[in-house]
Chain A
Amino acid sequence: MQDEAASRVLVCIQCGKCTGGCPESGRTPFNIRMLVRKKQFSYTIDESIPWYCTACNACTIRCPRDVKPSEVVIDIRSTLVENGDIPLAIQKALENTFVQKNPWGKPRSKRGEWAGKLNFKVPHISETEHKRLLFLCCVHAYDPRCMVIPVNVATLLHRAGYEFGILGEEECCCGNEIRRIGELGLFEELMEENKTNFKEYGVKEIIALSPHCMNTMKNEYGDTGIKVMHYTEVLSGLIKEGALKPHKPFEKEIIYHDPCFLGKQNKIFEEPRDILKSINNTNLKEFSRSKEISLCCEGGGGRMFFEVETHYKRNSETRVEEAQSKGVEIITTACPFCVMTLEEKAVEKGLAVKELSEILMEVI
């Protein structure tokens, strides 16, 4: 993949389609088009520059010459990683992932602790009939803010009578962010460990809680023969079938923020909206930049683990301001990273951010 990206650099026509859609270019020292040009000519690139990229993939999706600018960034990063010229926080995250299989370095033995908060027992995947695996992001497993999400989704699936299992402490980081940081060796190691587990337990379907995990398992793990879905796809299906009934009203003005890895990268736009539309009395609004042109929250591409050097207005703030101008009370989304980045700014302005499953829990 790397070689492919590197070779496509030569066909760039510097049209600027990438830069115009880039969530970082124009506001920060980062300019994706210029980065590609510098790479074309093998010019020196300031080592702080590649780390602005949030891996939203808008550039690669739209590039008329299929240059894959986001892969060029990964290419540049991987050289920096190899030489050790990387921000300390990134280095830490990589080390943590190597040792504990999660970027925050929390003990692996505690990965399955969230399931203790459920009032029923979730079986290990090996004990299930349908071999459907509920796959958590590291942030779901360890972060106190996001731990509620797997608890909610598991409860909802359980109530719908939908059988599933978990891997518990055998689960390891999916590697999506690791690949984007440029540590391809570690990514492959993580992928192999997960794939070995999937194979051993005969996993047939994966319900990923994070769009980031879903993306890499669906598009970058190769042909595993496993059907990978985001949990909103499963839940919207269960609601349509009538297995789940959101019967309580939710009288709120809400707005849905499309996560890049769910929306523009994997074209899942309608399922989360279908879930929200099935709730009584809810007024669902849309951002001016939604669906394919959704504005990235800046949580991807390793940006969850460190801060870039320059101070500038965050996209999450722009997002929250627009929501506020539209009279919205709650911003909802279906990605743990988006929840974290948006909430920081929303709370300052008196708005709430709820993960989709949190709203569903209130109405079912």
Chain B
Amino acid sequence: MRAGIFICHCGHNIKHTVDVRYLSEYFKKIPGVVVSIDYAFVCSEPGQDIIKESIENQKLDRVVIASCTPSLHGDLFRDLLKKSGTNPFYLKRVSIREHCSWVGDDIEANTEKAKRLILSGLYAASHYIPLEEKMVEVNKSALVIGGGVSGLSAALFLARMGIKVYLIEREKELGGHVRLLNKVWPSMRNGKEIIRELIDEIERLDNVEIYTDTIITNFEGFFGNYQVTINNNGQERKFIVGGVVVATGFTPFDPSIKPELHYKKDKRIVTTLDLEKGIEYLELPKKPRVAILHCIGSRDETIGRSYCSRICCINSLKTAEEIKQRYPDSFVESFYMDVRAHPRGGEEYFESLQEKGVLFTRGNVAEIIPTDKNIIIRGEDTLLGEVYEKEFDLVVLSIGMSTAFDSRALGQLLKISLDKDGFFLEAHIKLRPFDTAVKGIFIAGSCSGPKDTEESINHGRASALKLFGMLNLGYAFVEPFISYVDPKRCSGCRQCEEACIAKAIKFDEKLRVVKVEEAACMGCGLCNATCPSSAISLKGYFDSFIADEISGLLEIA
């Protein structure tokens, strides 16, 4: 073994509580270690150069990098080994930042801990064998879940790039919530028209299959080869897709769960979404007094929705404008906590409505009290510190976005995670905002958090673009950590066969032992843990490796 140890300072992150210089000197004395270096930023270009040169000049066959958590920069260092001409699976990452330097301030204790962690990593690495990534073919087809504005945008992009698209929608009609909007800010175009345009374009292409009234019932496989089963209006269908765009949207918040608002108990209390049907049906007087309440179903921990829904301030302003247009002599008062007119042009829109005479009162309305004559709103003008009771003819609740009701179930089916609010979680909020943790599954639109129409369209296109990039290669590498059976130890009890979720284990009737179908194995390790005779191991993770790794941690230096 010719091992190289590279200890990262991570600026001050590691260096300030771990004696990195001592460690690099210490490991120079360990047998088998050819290079031991500490450096400011191992992940930087000069840092990578040092590793590359060491591998090439010293003919290293094991590389131990002690730095941040292995999930960060994992691909980067593996590629570096590949470029330097050594097998990428000779790499061992040791976390001395998250698991060590960030935990405590005691330099002596941290240095000792880091030493043991690195030693244990070195022991593990000593067992490593060269592995080859398996190349698999990728189906140039995609599943788009959800036919709202985001899903339609994603489907259209993929289809135009020549990808076969299966677009499925739970409802009977495509178009999601945008279809219900009378006017979409800022263009003030009709939502139905926007949707119609998208659908017309999609229908002109012959590589899109659209299924409405459809849900997914089964989902298996891996990137490039996902097997999907759908239920289309009672009929089952199966197809294979390379990747997925999840665009399941949101559910409008139902204010009736907040009893003090009296929604659904009085027809003079409506939501912004109700008003998209028009104002005429409300039979308002000629000079109506209208109250608009912001933040209904947003920024409210009592109902588990601590987030800002981002769209409702603009919706409130839009409602005020509608009313002012239809009833020029109306009195419109908007009750807000903060006016967050985020998007470009939002602040100017807010100002234009103030100019039109819409009044804004700061304070979260406490109670809505319907009486025979009118509706009383009780709250505090927090800028004046005065409690008021004001009378109105109509109360409009500017509702926020809740998660789609079945997102938890869908998340389980696709094995993708949700955040604390129930929206689908991106792989990295800044660096991978469209990806999920599962390869080839992307998220788009408001299923990953509140978004307006424009953002949803962009998000859909961006996810489609990223998926296209992966599908268009035509091939993918599968990690080589797959199961391996030692036929001498296998007793043929077949417990692993039951445990395997990928259905990769088959029983050989003749030899009375199990075999692993390498193409199907996901490398999850369930069979390893199940096997009573320790006959199955994951390539690269044999029991003896782990025992040695532990002994490295426990060794008295």
Binding site for B on A (CB under 8 A): 13-22, 25-27, 31, 33-34, 58, 61-66, 288-289, 291-293
Contacts and interface: CB of A to CB of B under 8 A. Distances in A.
Interface stretch (B68-76, B113-121, B378-386, B417-425): B378-386
A58 B382 CA distance: 17
B386 A66 contact: no
A16 B302 contact: no
B359 interface: no
19 contacts: A13-B299, A14-B382, A15-B364, A16-B380, A18-B366, A19-B382, A20-B366, A20-B378, A20-B379, A21-B260, A34-B385, A61-B302, A62-B260, A64-B295, A64-B302, A65-B301, A288-B371, A288-B376, A292-B260
Interface residues of B, number: 27
B450 interface: no
Contacts of A289: 367, 369
Given A17-B366, A26-B386, 7 more contacts: A16-B379, A19-B366, A20-B380, A21-B260, A26-B387, A63-B302, A64-B295
B380 A19 contact: yes
Contact of A293 (B369, B380, B382, B386): B369
Contacts of A22: 366, 387
A208 to B, nearest CB: 24
A25 B367 contact: no
Contacts of A291: 259
Interface in B284-335: 295, 299-302
B385 A31 contact: yes
A21 B259 CA distance: 13
B369 A62 contact: no
B370 interface: yes
Contact of B260 (A13, A25, A63, A293): A293
B34 to A, nearest CB: 54
Contacts of A26: 380, 386-388
Contacts of B302: 61-64, 66
A19 B387 contact: yes
B360 to A, nearest CB: 14
Interface of B: 259-260, 295, 299-302, 337, 362-367, 369-371, 376, 378-382, 385-388
A22 B376 CA distance: 15
A11 to B, nearest CB: 9
Nearest to A67: B301
Nearest to B259: A292
B366 A62 contact: yes
B294 to A, nearest CB: 10
A289 B378 CA distance: 11
A113 to B, nearest CB: 41
Contact of A13 (B259, B337, B365, B378): B337
Given A15-B363, A34-B385, A21 B378 contact: yes
Contacts of B259: 291-293
A15 B260 contact: no
A21 to B, nearest CB: 4
A19 B386 CA distance: 9
A14 B337 CA distance: 8
A20 B363 contact: yes
Contacts of B366: 16-22, 58, 62
A25 B380 contact: yes
The 5 closest A-B pairs by CB, nearest first: A26-B387, A20-B366, A20-B379, A21-B366, A19-B380
B382 A33 contact: yes
Contacts of A14: 382
Contacts of B378: 20-21
B380 to A, nearest CB: 4
Given A25-B380, A33-B380, A63-B302, A17 B364 contact: yes
Contacts of B367: 20-21, 289, 293
Which of A13, A61, A293 has the largest count of B CB atoms less than 10 A from its CB?
A293
Contacts of A61: 302
Contacts of A17: 363-366, 379
Contacts of B381: 16
Nearest to B362: A16
A291 B259 CA distance: 9
A311 B300 CA distance: 35
Contacts of B387: 19-20, 22, 25-27
A58 B378 CA distance: 13
B371 to A, nearest CB: 5
A16 B300 CA distance: 13
A22 B302 CA distance: 17
Contacts of A288: 369-371, 376
Given A26-B387, A291-B259, A64 B365 contact: no
A31 B385 CA distance: 8
A58 B260 CA distance: 10
A349 B369 CA distance: 25
Nearest to B367: A293
A66 B385 CA distance: 21
A183 to B, nearest CB: 29
Which of A15, A288, A289 has the largest count of B CB atoms less than 10 A from its CB?
A15
Contacts of A20: 363-367, 378-380, 387
Contacts of B380: 16, 19-20, 25-26, 31, 33
A357 to B, nearest CB: 27
Contacts of A21: 260, 366-367, 378
Contacts of A33: 380, 382, 385
Given A15-B337, A19-B366, A20-B366, A64 B300 contact: yes
Contacts of A31: 380, 385
A64 B369 contact: no
A18 B260 CA distance: 12
Given A15-B382, A16-B379, A20-B379, A64 B371 contact: no
Contacts of A65: 301
B459 to A, nearest CB: 28
A64 B260 contact: no
B309 to A, nearest CB: 13
A26 B388 CA distance: 8
Contacts of A34: 385
Contacts of B388: 26
B291 to A, nearest CB: 13
Given A14-B382, A16-B382, A20-B380, A64 B301 contact: yes
A302 to B, nearest CB: 22
A54 to B, nearest CB: 15
A14 B301 CA distance: 15
Nearest to A15: B364
A15 B294 CA distance: 11
Nearest to B371: A288
